[in-house]
Structure 1
Amino acid sequence: MTATDNPLLRATFFLDTEHDAIKTFTRQVTSDAASDGQRATALFAAVRDEIRYNPYYISQEPADYRASSVLTGGANWCVPKAVLLAATARAAGIPCRLGFADVRNHLSTPKLQALMGTDLFVYHGYVEWLVEGTWNKVTPAFNSELCARSGVSPLEFEVGHDALMHEFAGDGHQYMQYVRDRGTFIDLPLEEILAALRTTYQGRVIGLMNHTGEEF
């Protein structure tokens, strides 16, 4: 089966795996990898740390969610970061799809809770990929520097294991609670996500703030 025959390897509008920037990034990050497991591990760490987490600006423009655009932005929130990881995985020959879940972040800052009006994050983005015969769910949302400042260990991918948000922080306090599975998708269901954000947050978050603050 070729990549074009397998929808989990195919380029899409948002997962623009054929873009030169995506192919170059993927090739550079995986240059020393000798297996799909090593390629997946390297890509996960690169997307996690090279695109800093910034939840304070959510664009309504579809072009901003293309993996090639996310790659050049330097900072973004969980959904675009998942798009980038999925695109690079497909570029590396790793079958994958996008997944979404509603989560409660019990360590979110008062500033972010005041903006959102809740600690519920709808449509938190992750990637579900097939690596060396095993399906695993991974989220590259929070970069290592941010995790260190917040007292939370950064997620690491190991073949055969999920890399999802920790239920508890290092000090024992409850951290992230997965409360609703939104399913998996071949490409980004952007309009569905934006509609849920508008309904949940009553217009408080989309396009409201655009700065480089890094907070939960």
Structure 2
Amino acid sequence: MKYLESTYCFDFENDSVQNLISEFKTDTLSNKEKAIGIYTKVRDNWKYDAYNISLSKEKYKSSYLVEKQSGNCVEKSIILIACLRALGIAARLHLGKVKNHIAVERLIEKFGSNELTPHGMVNVYLNNKWLKMSPAFNKSLCEKLNVEPLSFDGENNSFLQQYNGKGNRFMEYIDDYGHFDDVPLDFMIKNIKEHYPSIFNNNDKKTEFKL
């Protein structure tokens, strides 16, 4: 299955990814237990950061991303997919567009919108079905926003935090771009330029953004 293969971005043979999954490389754990464990580890070991964006392909390799301390939704999804594939569990990148409704002041200031695109999540194949999960928001950030962190039980989808602890709308999916076997950088660049033209400041050749 192609969703088990190493690719340019999901280069899971590297030592960094192998070290990350070392505790799960055992026959005593089921694939379900491995998926739950590595999902939680990736969710919380990298802080979510939506304000650093790269358009350079090499910056989307799992071997590069695991060395960082933070990442956006796509970057953290890449790390998780590489880990899952390294453990022999089929996984793929799924992209869409979301709208945030809480703590959006900085988003609107930097992006000109409270919509985030492309938003990344993970499809994982367990027990003969594809499940959706999102490792984007680390537990400490969720506590700060009064939002329950997304847990993954290996049996149900876990990709959307609709409401916070007070019952107020937190986020919603407003578009679905489908799934990909590797990182579709050309599509992502086109998508970012269409939705956030102001961040380029008439410089289409710029590849790194710290907003």
Normalising by structure 2, we get a TM-score of: 0.92
> What is the CA–CA distance in structure 2 between the aligned matches of 1:203 and 1:57, rounded to whole Å?
15
> What is the CA–CA distance in structure 1 between the aligned matches of 2:2 and 2:48, rounded to whole Å?
28
> What is the CA–CA distance in structure 2 between the aligned matches of 1:135 and 1:160, rounded to whole Å?
10
Q: In the alignment, which residue of structure 1 is the partner of 2:72? A: 77
Query: Is residue 38 of structure 2 the alignment partner of residue 37 of structure 1?
Result: no
Query: What's the offset of the Cα at 1:182?
Result: 0.4
Q: CA RMSD in A?
A: 1.6
Q: In the alignment, which residue of structure 2 is the partner of 1:139? A: 134
Q: Secondary structure at the residue paired with 1:140?
A: coil
Normalising by structure 1, we get a TM-score of: 0.90
Matched residue type, 2:182:
D
Query: Is residue 102 of structure 2 the alignment partner of residue 107 of structure 1?
Result: yes
Query: What's the offset of the Cα at 1:203?
Result: 4.3
Q: Is the 8 A contact 1:51 1:81 kept in 2?
A: yes
Query: What's the offset of the Cα at 1:201?
Result: 0.6
> What is the CA–CA distance in structure 2 between the aligned matches of 1:31 and 1:173, rounded to whole Å?
42
Q: In the alignment, which residue of structure 2 is the partner of 1:12? A: 7
Q: In the alignment, which residue of structure 2 is the partner of 1:50? A: 45
Q: In the alignment, which residue of structure 2 is the partner of 1:208? A: 209
Q: Is the 8 A contact 1:107 1:175 kept in 2?
A: yes
Q: Is the 8 A contact 2:18 2:86 kept in 1?
A: yes
Q: In the alignment, which residue of structure 1 is the partner of 2:165? A: 170
Query: What's the offset of the Cα at 1:30?
Result: 5.3
Query: What's the offset of the Cα at 1:190?
Result: 1.1
> What is the CA–CA distance in structure 1 between the aligned matches of 2:27 and 2:79, rounded to whole Å?
20
With over 3 angstroms needed to count, the CA separation of the structure-2 counterparts of 1:108 and 1:198, relative to structure 1, is: farther
> What is the CA–CA distance in structure 2 between the aligned matches of 1:30 and 1:77, rounded to whole Å?
26
Q: Secondary structure at the residue paired with 1:46?
A: helix
Query: What's the offset of the Cα at 1:33?
Result: 5.7
> What is the CA–CA distance in structure 2 between the aligned matches of 1:64 and 1:122, rounded to whole Å?
18
> What is the CA–CA distance in structure 1 between the aligned matches of 2:96 and 2:166, rounded to whole Å?
25
Q: Is the 8 A contact 1:137 1:164 kept in 2?
A: yes
Name stretches of at least 5 consecutive residues in structure 1 with no aligned partner. 1-5, 211-216
Q: Is the 8 A contact 1:134 1:160 kept in 2?
A: no
Query: Is residue 189 of structure 2 the alignment partner of residue 189 of structure 1?
Result: no
Q: In the alignment, which residue of structure 1 is the partner of 2:204? A: none
> What is the CA–CA distance in structure 2 between the aligned matches of 1:33 and 1:55, rounded to whole Å?
37
Q: How many pairs align?
A: 205
Encode CA deviations 1:53-92: one digit per residue, 9 max, x unaligned: 0111101221111011110011010001111100000000
Q: Is the 8 A contact 1:47 1:84 kept in 2?
A: yes
> What is the CA–CA distance in structure 2 between the aligned matches of 1:15 and 1:108, rounded to whole Å?
32
> What is the CA–CA distance in structure 2 between the aligned matches of 1:33 and 1:144, rounded to whole Å?
27
> What is the CA–CA distance in structure 2 between the aligned matches of 1:33 and 1:153, rounded to whole Å?
30
Matched residue type, 1:209:
K
Query: What's the offset of the Cα at 1:109?
Result: 2.7
Percent of aligned pairs sharing the same letter: 29
Query: What's the offset of the Cα at 1:108?
Result: 3.5
Give the alignment partner of residue 17 of structure 2, picking from 5, 19, 22.
22
Q: Is the 8 A contact 2:90 2:124 kept in 1?
A: yes
> What is the CA–CA distance in structure 1 between the aligned matches of 2:169 and 2:44, rounded to whole Å?
24
Q: Is the 8 A contact 1:197 1:203 kept in 2?
A: no
Q: In the alignment, which residue of structure 1 is the partner of 2:124? A: 129
Q: In the alignment, which residue of structure 2 is the partner of 1:213? A: none
Q: Is the 8 A contact 2:9 2:78 kept in 1?
A: yes
Q: Secondary structure at the residue paired with 1:184?
A: strand
